[in-house]
Amino acid sequence: MSLPPPLVPPPRILMGPGPSEIQPRVLAALSCPTVGHLDPYYLELMNHMQQLLRRTFRTENQLTFAVSGTGSAGMECAVVNLVEPGDSVLVCVCGVFGQRMADVAARAGGKVTQIEKPWGQVFTPDDLAPALRRASPKVVGLILAETSTGAWQPLEEIARLVRDAGALLVVDAVTALGGIPVEVDAWGLDVVYAGSQKCLSCPPGLAPITFSPRAVDHVQQRRTPVQSWYLDVRLLSQYWGSDRVYHHTAPINMTYALYEALRLIDEEGLEACFARHALHHRALRAGLEALGLTYLSDPRHTLPMLNAVAVPPGVDEAAVRRELLSRFGIEIGGGLGAYKGRAWRIGLMGHGARSNNVLLLLAALDQLLAHEGHSFERGAAVAAANRVYELSN
């Protein structure tokens, strides 16, 4: 029998909805020697990691750590710790990830009320107020950056409303963290989770999470054990806290990677990092609009790191993505759910938010859309993006 082929992943420019491009220092961190998960070096690293996570989440929350799992594990961890069977849970759904949170809450035994908005839109305090009165939920779930639509959900006022209603607010910041502000303490958010592979420039595999003291109290006062042993924060906090009780073997090298990724953000500065995402979004947007493409999200609430645009009539959605990958080495995303076959989702996340990526993608789309018979002014997209960059200098 012949040997299976050697491992030779093709070099790619990752401009989809995640995973995003990995910063070279983060890749190097992955290959550092593995130590034990109770090694003094590792325990010290966990402390530094928690500090960096608190800084990135802008919180003083003691219970701040990284779940061993992807963003969805962060979602499960948030929900299963707060929700007991029979608890009323209100989930705001205007895309795939809100729907996923509603599913997770129902599986945890929650009595789930869903409120919905059309895809691409966001929720206002007025949308929530009647639902809060009707459902009087214990937990409210909301997606800050809805990756399926590119919509940016404002949180500050809604968080106040939820708090006044006596409920706990769970926020999905998987795509948001590192790309737009996530003000855990200033906005009074209760549980917020993220993922390593979106704006943190790290491979998938860890889910940063933070619990407010109020959320921790709720977990402590549960009448029933958390249905997931692996994600039970009462057990996990004994490993992340000073006791260092073995729970599961931490993914050591992924911890190195996330640590280095968070250090990079700290070096750049969070505000500078947000400004970089915003700049490249403006340049990309100018270019996409010059190609005659339109955004699907509410123009007042468009995320910088996830650009969802409509596929023009007559253009073969999948063929364009296939050619981008095979001829230009660029990955972008197709549509999910209601947007399946109708949208392209272009990510500008973390290390991927750079001018060379923006300009290459626009040049490639200029070529491919012309070939598809879409009509627009050739060359105008790259010029429009360059104008944004020149003005910003």
Other CB atoms within 10 Å distance of the CB of residue 48: 12
Question: Judged by CB under 6 A, which stretch of 167-175, 232-240, 254-262, 358-366 contacts ligand PLP?
Answer: 167-175
Rounded Cα distance between 79 and 237, Å, is 16
Spatial neighbors of 7 by CB under 8 A, at least 6 apart, are none
Nearer to ligand PLP, 251 or 292 (CB): 251
The verdict on 335 binding ligand PLP (CB under 6 A) reads: no
The verdict on 307 binding ligand PLP (CB under 6 A) reads: no
The verdict on 175 binding ligand PLP (CB under 6 A) reads: yes
The verdict on 18 binding ligand PLP (CB under 6 A) reads: yes
Q: What binding mask, one character per residue, do residues 116-155 give for ligand PLP by CB under 6 A, x or -? A: ---------------------------x-x-x--------
The verdict on 295 binding ligand PLP (CB under 6 A) reads: no
Q: What binding mask, one character per residue, do residues 345-384 give for ligand PLP by CB under 6 A, x or -? A: ----------------------------------------
Q: Region of 146 please: left (phi>0), alpha (psi -120 to 50) or beta.
A: beta
Q: Compute the least distance from the CB of residue 104 to ligand PLP, in Å.
A: 10
The verdict on 72 binding ligand PLP (CB under 6 A) reads: yes
Query: With contact defined as beta carbons under 8 Å apart, do 141 and 94 qualify?
Result: no
Q: What binding mask, one character per residue, do residues 204-233 give for ligand PLP by CB under 6 A, x or -? A: x-----------------------------
The verdict on 172 binding ligand PLP (CB under 6 A) reads: yes
Q: Shortest CA distance to 49 belongs to which of 243, 242, 259, 196?
A: 259
The verdict on 113 binding ligand PLP (CB under 6 A) reads: no
Rounded Cα distance between 2 and 63, Å, is 50
Rounded Cα distance between 352 and 199, Å, is 8
How far does CA 199 lie from the centroid of its chain?
A: 7
The verdict on 97 binding ligand PLP (CB under 6 A) reads: yes
Rounded Cα distance between 150 and 176, Å, is 11
Q: What are phi and psi of 189, to 5 degrees?
A: -85, 145
Query: With contact defined as beta carbons under 8 Å apart, do 182 and 58 qualify?
Result: yes
Nearer to ligand PLP, 69 or 287 (CB): 69
The verdict on 201 binding ligand PLP (CB under 6 A) reads: no
Rounded Cα distance between 30 and 257, Å, is 5
Provide the binding-site residues for ligand PLP, judged by CB under 6 A. 18, 70-72, 75, 97, 143, 145, 147, 172, 174-175, 195, 204
